[in-house]
Amino acid sequence: MPALNFSEVLKDKVIAVQDYSLLAGRSLTNIFGQPRYYADTLLQADLIGVGSLPIVVLIGFFTGAVLALQTASTLQQFGSLSLTGKLVALSMVRELGPVLTGILVAGRNSSGMASELGSMKVTEQIDAMRAMGVDPTRKLVTPRVVATVTMLFFLSIISDLLGLSGGFMISYFLLGLDANQYWTTAYQALRFGDVFMGLSKPVVFGFIISSVGCYYGMSARGGTQGVGRATTQAVVSASVLIVVIDFFLTKLLMQMF
């Protein structure tokens, strides 16, 4: 195996960032031009949104439940058990709902996009599409980006709601909190900035998941092994990017509100 040349590796990374940026940019500008593939977008929305619903419901519910369980013991020490609803609401809406849903959808759909588009790439189907005068970014990437951004927005809301319900079940049945108290503290804790943060993050995460998945798929090479590699890289990159960008986005939004 030849020795890795540092400048070559660096050049490859810069080219990869450039290619990703171009693909991501075009996936957005395509929204404003013709043709638009509504049927493909709806199909992807069904696959991503409806397909991810069971795991989002399960994970959202149990995350809220375990959050209430874990924090209750600490809150009890300070005599603030009544604040459980507030804590679960803020944690789920601001952070856990969007991030956990994003990582789940990244694991499920970023890999799916990378493997599907990667298989098309290595079997020359993408080239065939280009050869027939069809823009693959318009036909394949933009519908996935639009569908993921839209669906992740709603999935995060569902996750937040289920998380609050999970927290309520623990608070009501195990901690003996009053239902009205739980929901009132949860509701009153949320301000515009919290809700804005909770709803803006899925939009950014949805774009990351879909654009990263499509980028690795569209740049796959090296047969089935290459498709496997692209799939793994897509999930890892999307998940890491979600966590890292979440930090900077949180910092920015906290300064804004």
Partner 1 sequence: MASPAAPIETPGPAKTSPSARLLTFDHVSIAFENPVLDGVSFQLARGETKVLLGESGTGKTLILKLALGLVKPDAGRITVLEQEISSMREQDMYDLRRDIGMVFQESALFDSLTVEENVAYRLIEETGTITDEIHARVIEALEFVELGHTYNLFPAELSGGMRRRVAIARAIITQPQLLLYDSPTGGLDPVTSNTIIELVVKQRDVYKTGSLLVTHRLQDAFTMASHYFDRKLNKMVPVEPGSQRDVHTRFVILRDHKIIFEGTATELLRCNDPYTREYLS
Query: Which residues are at the interface with partner 1 (CB under 8 A)?
Result: 35, 39, 120, 123-125, 127-128, 130-135
Q: How far is the CB of 105 from partner 1 (least distance, A)?
A: 22
Residue 112 half-sphere exposure toward CB, CA atoms < 13 A: 16
Q: How far is the CB of 135 from partner 1 (least distance, A)?
A: 6
Is residue 139 packed enough to be buried (19+ CB in 10 Å), middle (13-18) or exposed (0-12)? middle
- Closer CB to partner 1, 31 or 128, in the complex: 128
Q: How far is the CB of 151 from partner 1 (least distance, A)?
A: 21
Closest CA to 76 of 163, 7, 171, 9: 171
Q: How far is the CB of 43 from partner 1 (least distance, A)?
A: 11
- Closer CB to partner 1, 40 or 95, in the complex: 40
- Closer CB to partner 1, 13 or 130, in the complex: 130
Closest CA to 98 of 257, 245, 213: 245
In contact, 241 and 205? CB cutoff 8 Å: no
- Closer CB to partner 1, 35 or 193, in the complex: 35
Please give the Cα distance from 69 to 247 (Å, whole number): 25
Q: How far is the CB of 14 from partner 1 (least distance, A)?
A: 18
- Tell me, what DSSP letter sits at residue 32? G
Residue 145: which residues within 8 A CB-CB, separation 6 or more? 27, 28, 206, 207, 210, 211, 214
- Identify residue 50 by its one-letter amino acid code: V
- Closer CB to partner 1, 46 or 127, in the complex: 127
